[in-house]
């Protein structure tokens, strides 16, 4: 029984290495060459004890890299994707006809995460999840898998649920009450370790490194040996996670957001490039009620009644060329420089990318849109000659938050306040902002998300 449970656990963890939607493989496909820890540049400087663990997991096929030479120690996946992988791997009964969930935030009309509804229900039916909140009313499909959730899943997967129920709960304010028994047992079994100041950091997102070390420890338990004490690096508090507006400012909670996305004929590309889904999920986490519209179906009147407009990088810029946004007096965030260009708020339309860089330089660290960051900040986990970071060339009335390193005129984050003007004279009707589209959002750092959160919330204030 133990061998069977660990086989399922190992396959689950291996599945966490694939990209979203890549959940099935052709059994006739030739197996890839077996790699070792030395094939991944971000594993080479780990302590030797950890390198040995990673090498064992990689050579046993439990983990692959995110790319040919990058393991992706800090990468995460959201709870919707996690649910689908877990349901498939554990061979749970999935009712594909379900359109109503027992969780209030899992809906069949959710453009980002509706696909996961039957899988989330299958996990709940099997007792592998109790939801996100203490009452079990929500699942938070767009959210990351937290460390306390990982602890609970590992303990349940190992068949130790009863032991967790009788364990002495941890006295730790970073862990929710429902998880304290699971965390207590996970610590006792050395599946996971405390972080700084003896705290578990239960609500912090779990990383692939944590998953790998925990899976190795689970293997030791199932073989009848005692796992070694796991040494985990301190995890910085995720101050950019679910931020609230400062006192006296407008909160995103319940505000209506219109998300302008790719044209109708390109919707099938979501499987290959799901960045729109990730951003929509993030916006919902901030509290927004999101409605999306294809750029070829968008007209100015469709923005009426919304508190914020969000223009995706995936749209076809030709649909903005007519200046359709000029008379919309609603705060707007652009992920595409073309939108600012057509309003005269950036002086260059094309060739506004820098390649093979992964950081930005904060120009105004005291501005609220800078999210408390300063100096040079990584927006990407990895980069290569094909990875582009976009920028704009704003006018004199713009507030520039961040720039391409060494190129202060190339702004990666900037905004115009209501009542300011483009250099050509256009008067801004409501705060308009630009955020550099930093490539694949699986490759985005937490600081990148933190800056996007801060800019979105600041734009909402309509100053």
Q: Is residue 49 part of a domain?
A: yes
In a domain, 368, yes or no: yes
| pLDDT attached to residue 282 | 86
Alpha helix locations (H) across 375-445?
none
pLDDT of residue 266 exceeding 80: no
**Same-domain check for residues 165 and 29:** yes
Highest mean pLDDT out of 137-151, 280-294, 359-373: 359-373
The model's confidence at residue 286, banded by pLDDT at 50, 70 and 90, is confident
421 inside domain: yes
User: What are the residues whose beta carbons fall under 8 Å from the beta carbon of 88, sequence distance 6 or more?
Assistant: 15, 23, 119
More confident residue, 421 or 272: 421
How, if at all, do strands 376-378 and 332-334 pair? unpaired
> Are 261 and 214 found together in one domain?
no
Same domain, yes or no: 208 and 267:
no
> DSSP secondary structure string, 325-343?
TTT--S-EEESSHHHHHTT
Burial of 33 (0-12, 13-18, 19+ CB in 10 A): exposed
Q: What is the pLDDT of residues 214-264, one digit of tens each?
A: 877 877 776 666 666 555 544 443 433 333 334 346 788 888 999 998 887
Our CA angle for 22, 28, 30, nearest 5°, is: 85
List all residues 6 or more positions away from 322 whose beta carbon is below 8 Å from its beta carbon: none
Quote the distance between the C-alpha of residue 403 and its chain's center. Answer: 23
The tens digit of pLDDT for each residue in 426-447 reads 999 999 999 997 666 778 888 8
Residues 283 and 410 in one domain: yes
> Which residue did the predictor score with more confidence, 381 or 11?
381
- Give CA–CA dist 52/318, Å, rounded: 53
- CA nearest to 442, candidates 115, 151, 208, 146: 208
Shared domain for 359 and 425, answered yes or no, is yes
Token duo for residue 407: 């190129």
Output the CA torsion 123→127→131→132 (10° steps): -110
- 217 shares a domain with 317: no
- Tell me which of 21 and 405 has the higher pLDDT: 405
Provide the residue range defining the domain that includes 450.
256-460
Top-confidence residue, 210 or 10: 210
> Which of 287, 296, 274 is closest to 112 using CA atoms?
274
Confidence of residue 61 (pLDDT cuts 50, 70, 90): low
Confidence of residue 74 (pLDDT cuts 50, 70, 90): confident
The sign of the dihedral angle between the CA atoms of 89, 93, 96, 98 is: negative
Give a yes or no: residue 235 inside a domain: no
Query: How are beta strands 289-294 and 308-311 bridged, if at all?
Result: unpaired
> How many residues are present in the chain?
463
DSSP, residue by residue, 248-297? TS---TT-EEEEEES-GGGGGGGGT-THHHHHHHHHHHTT-EEEEEEGGG
Say yes or no: 282 and 351 in one domain.
Answer: yes
From 205, 222, 239, give the residue that closes a domain: 222
Mean pLDDT of the chain: 81
Residue 136 lies in a domain: no
Cα 274 vs. chain centroid, distance in angstroms? 11
Same domain for 150 and 268?
Answer: no
Q: Are residues 210 and 288 in the same domain?
A: no
Overall average pLDDT of the 447-452 stretch: 91
pLDDT (0 to 100) of residue 34: 67
- Write down the pLDDT at residue 402: 96
Q: What CATH number should be reported for the domain holding residue 324?
A: 3.40.50.880
Bigger pLDDT: 333 or 314?
333
Determine the angle formed by the axes of helices 79-89 and 2-15, rounding to 10 degrees: 140
pLDDT for residue 1 is more than 60: no
Please give the pLDDT value at position 267. 66
When pLDDT is cut at 50, 70 and 90, the band that residue 269 belongs to is low
- What is the average pLDDT across 67-80? 77
pLDDT of residue 13: 46
Is the residue at 73 inside a domain?
yes
pLDDT of 236 reads 45
- Tell me: do 369 and 280 sit in the same domain: yes
For the cut 90, the answer to whether the pLDDT of residue 459 exceeds it is: yes
Domain count, the chain: 2
- With cut-offs at 50, 70 and 90, classify the pLDDT of residue 170: very high
DSSP 22-60: -----TTSPPPPPP-GGG-TTTTTS-HHHHHHHHHHHHT
Predicted confidence (pLDDT) per residue in 397-410, tens digit: 999 999 999 999 99
pLDDT of 324 over the 60 cut: yes
Rounded CA-CA distance 381/211 in Å is: 18
Clarify whether residues 176 and 305 are in a common domain.
no
**331 and 390 fall within a common domain:** yes
pLDDT at 23: 30
pLDDT at residue number 83: 77
DSSP of 101-153: -SSTT-BTT-TTTGGGHHHHHHHHHTTS---SSTTS----TTSBPBHHHHHHH
Q: Do 170 and 200 touch, CB atoms closer than 8 A?
A: yes
For the cut 90, the answer to whether the pLDDT of residue 343 exceeds it is: yes
End of a domain among 180, 207, 222?
222
Within 8 A by CB and 6+ apart from 390, the residues are 313, 335, 336, 337, 352, 353, 412, 436, 437
Instruction: Out of 1-10, 208-217, 261-270, 397-406, pick the least confident.
Output: 1-10
pLDDT at 405: 94
Model confidence at 3, in pLDDT bands (50, 70, 90)? Answer: very low
pLDDT of residue 55: 87
- What is the share, in percent, of the chain residues with pLDDT greater than 70? 80
Is 376 inside any structural domain? yes
Q: Is residue 45 part of a domain?
A: yes
199: CB partners within 8 A, 6+ apart: 172, 173, 174
């Amino acid at each position: 029984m133990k061998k069977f449970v660990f086989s399922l656990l190992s396959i689950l963890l291996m599945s966490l290495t694939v990209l979203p939607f890549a959940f099935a493989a052709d059994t006739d496909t030739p197996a890839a060459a077996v790699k070792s820890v030395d094939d991944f540049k971000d594993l080479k400087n780990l302590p030797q004890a950890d390198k040995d663990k990673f090498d064992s997991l990689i050579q046993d096929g439990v983990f692959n890299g995110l790319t040919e030479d990058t393991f992706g120690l800090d990468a995460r996946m959201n709870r919707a994707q996690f649910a689908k992988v877990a349901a498939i791997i554990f061979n749970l009964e999935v009712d594909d006809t379900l359109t109503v969930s027992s969780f209030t935030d899992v809906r069949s009309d959710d453009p980002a995460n509706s696909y996961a509804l039957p899988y989330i229900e299958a996990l709940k039916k099997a007792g592998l999840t109790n939801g996100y909140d203490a009452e079990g009313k929500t699942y938070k499909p767009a959210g990351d898998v937290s460390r306390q959730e990982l602890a609970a899943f590992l303990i349940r997967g190992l068949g130790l649920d009863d032991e967790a129920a009788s364990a002495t709960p941890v006295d730790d304010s970073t862990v929710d009450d429902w998880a304290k028994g699971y965390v207590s047992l996970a610590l006792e079994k050395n599946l996971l370790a405390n972080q700084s100041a003896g705290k578990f950091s239960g609500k912090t997102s779990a990383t692939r490194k944590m998953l790998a070390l925990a899976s190795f420890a689970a293997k030791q338990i199932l073989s009848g040996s005692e796992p070694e004490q796991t040494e985990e690096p301190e995890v910085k508090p995720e101050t950019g996670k679910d931020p609230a507006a400062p006192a006296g400012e407008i909160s995103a909670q319940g505000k209506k957001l219109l998300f302008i996305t790719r044209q109708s004929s390109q919707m099938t590309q979501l499987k290959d490039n799901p960045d729109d889904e990730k951003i929509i999920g993030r916006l919902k986490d901030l509290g927004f009620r999101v409605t999306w519209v294809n750029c070829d179906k968008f007209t100015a009147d469709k923005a009426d009644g919304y508190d914020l407009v969000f223009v995706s990088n995936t749209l076809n810029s030709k649909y903005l060329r007519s200046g359709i946004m000029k008379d919309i007096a609603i705060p707007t965030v652009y992920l595409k420089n073309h939108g600012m260009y057509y309003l005269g708020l950036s002086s260059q339309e094309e060739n506004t990318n820098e390649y093979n860089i992964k950081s930005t330089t904060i120009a105004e660290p005291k501005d609220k849109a800078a999210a408390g960051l300063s100096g040079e900040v990584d927006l990407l986990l990895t980069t290569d000659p094909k990875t582009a970071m976009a920028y704009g060339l704003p006018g004199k009335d713009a507030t520039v938050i961040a720039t391409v390193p060494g190129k202060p005129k190339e702004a990666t984050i900037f905004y115009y306040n209501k009542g300011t003007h483009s250099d050509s004279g256009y008067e801004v009707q409501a705060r308009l902002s630009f955020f550099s589209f930093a490539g694949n959002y699986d490759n985005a750092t937490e600081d990148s998300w933190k800056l996007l959160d801060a800019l979105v919330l600041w734009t909402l204030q309509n100053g």
